[in-house]
């Protein structure tokens, strides 16, 4: 803006937006149906742009600009040669200003104790999971395939984003794009289990993909493998990240199967491998639980926040 480029961009019809998650989740940047669009963002999942049948390509900002000029996906180096314009070099500032009039210094402790935090209707206290029960019992509420993203688990588009600080409301949309009945079924059955394939929980690191299933009573997720960050989020919110001891067992476990884990607290505290009883099939399902000692404590307490609340640092 200081160099005057923004005025030129606006005159050319460019839509300038704030540097937020907007373009990534389709907030104000939803493409027209039946069209293709380029986005200089970091992830690309079906429906991520806010349109169910989107056709989004990821590109660098330079490629996106060149494509906007030509109307087809264009290499900016070719466009530069065609127009006789050398590719611009990065022009980074020496330093960034730290002045921000929106930042207010904290109040003195005596005044802070009297202050009331005003919250809107969609900012509610985050619910915590109670300590792990001795027996975990529930149906497999949903069986999924490979590469389930956190967008599949909890949508991120604008119609849901308003509830991200309202877990009870947001939980109504868990797996909504795959099975609109999931949330209601989970509530009616008092929770249960989720079964997935390989690489479960890829994509955005948003912890709502663990918080909302926890709120619905999900005991744990049984998969062939987990995406690293989502696995950590499951642990932080007290859900069991279980993997099949034999990946071939994925084939015979079905939605609706009743799974029971007896002596759960002792197994979580000490065991690397154990068996759930599939009461529907009348056979054992062996699973692995690979955790650090600290992670085992977090799950026993019901998650990291529950642990910290029960064990404050003095």
* pLDDT, tens digit (0-9, with 9 covering 90-100), for 116-175: 888 888 899 889 999 999 999 999 999 999 999 998 999 877 777 788 899 999 999 999
Q: Is the pLDDT of residue 291 over 90?
A: yes
Out of 83, 99, 122, pick the residue that ends a domain: 83
Q: Does 96 fall in a domain? A: no
Q: What is the pLDDT of residues 246-265, one digit of tens each?
A: 999 999 999 999 999 999 99
Residue 90 resides in a domain: no
Residue 255 and residue 178 in one domain: yes
Residue 114 lies in a domain: no
Beta-sheet strands, E only, within 34-91: 36-39, 55-58
* Residue 25 pLDDT: 66
Q: Residue 23's domain spans which residues?
A: 5-83
In this structure, are 57 and 142 located in the same domain? no
Give pTM, 2 decimals.
Answer: 0.81
Residue 99 binned pLDDT confidence (cut-offs 50, 70, 90): confident
Round to whole Å and give the CA distance between 240 and 234. 7
94 located within any domain: no
User: What single DSSP character describes residue 94?
Assistant: S
Tokens of 265: 């607290």
Nearest to 291 by CA among 227, 232, 230: 232
Beta bridge partners of 16: none
Number of domains in the chain: 2
Give percent helix, percent strand, percent coil of the chain, each to the nearest 5: 30, 15, 50
222 occurs within a structural domain: yes
Q: Are 215 and 208 in contact (CB under 8 A)?
A: no
CATH at residue 152: 3.20.19.10
Predicted confidence (pLDDT) at residue 73 exceeds the cutoff of 80: yes
Whether residue 79 is found in the same domain as residue 178: no
User: Which domain-ending residue is among 83, 101, 117?
Assistant: 83
Q: Which of 54-63, 156-165, 184-193 has the highest mean pLDDT?
A: 184-193
């Amino acid at each position: 803006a200081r160099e005057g480029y923004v005025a030129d961009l606006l005159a050319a019809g460019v839509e300038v937006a704030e540097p937020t998650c907007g373009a990534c989740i389709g907030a104000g940047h939803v493409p027209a149906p039946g069209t293709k669009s380029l986005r200089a963002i970091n992830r690309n999942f079906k429906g991520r742009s806010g349109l169910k049948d989107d056709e989004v390509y990821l590109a660098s900002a330079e490629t996106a600009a060149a494509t906007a000029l030509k109307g087809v996906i264009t290499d900016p180096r070719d466009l530069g040669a065609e127009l006789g314009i050398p590719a611009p070099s990065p022009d980074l500032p020496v330093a960034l200003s730290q002045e921000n009039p929106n930042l207010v210094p904290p109040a003195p402790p005596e005044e802070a104790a009297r202050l009331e935090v005003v919250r809107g209707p969609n900012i509610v206290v985050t619910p915590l999971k109670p300590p792990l029960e001795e027996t975990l019992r529930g149906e497999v509420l949903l069986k999924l395939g490979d590469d389930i993203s956190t967008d599949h688990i909890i949508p991120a588009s604008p119609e849901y984003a308003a509830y991200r600080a309202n877990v009870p409301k947001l939980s109504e949309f868990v797996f909504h794009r795959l099975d609109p009945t999931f949330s209601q079924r989970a509530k009616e059955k008092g929770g249960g289990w989720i079964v997935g394939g390989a690489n479960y929980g890829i994509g955005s690191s948003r912890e709502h993909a663990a918080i909302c299933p926890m709120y619905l009573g999900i005991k744990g997720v049984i998969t062939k493998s987990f995406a690293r960050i989502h696995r950590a989020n499951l642990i932080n919110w007290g859900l069991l990240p279980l993997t099949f001891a034999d990946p071939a067992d994925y084939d015979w476990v079905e939605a609706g199967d009743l799974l029971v884990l007896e002596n759960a607290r002792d197994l979580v505290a000490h065991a690397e491998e154990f068996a759930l009883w599939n009461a529907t099939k009348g056979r054992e399902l062996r699973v692995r639980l690979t955790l650090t000692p600290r992670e085992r404590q977090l799950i026993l307490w019901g998650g990291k926040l529950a642990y910290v609340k029960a064990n404050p640092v003095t």
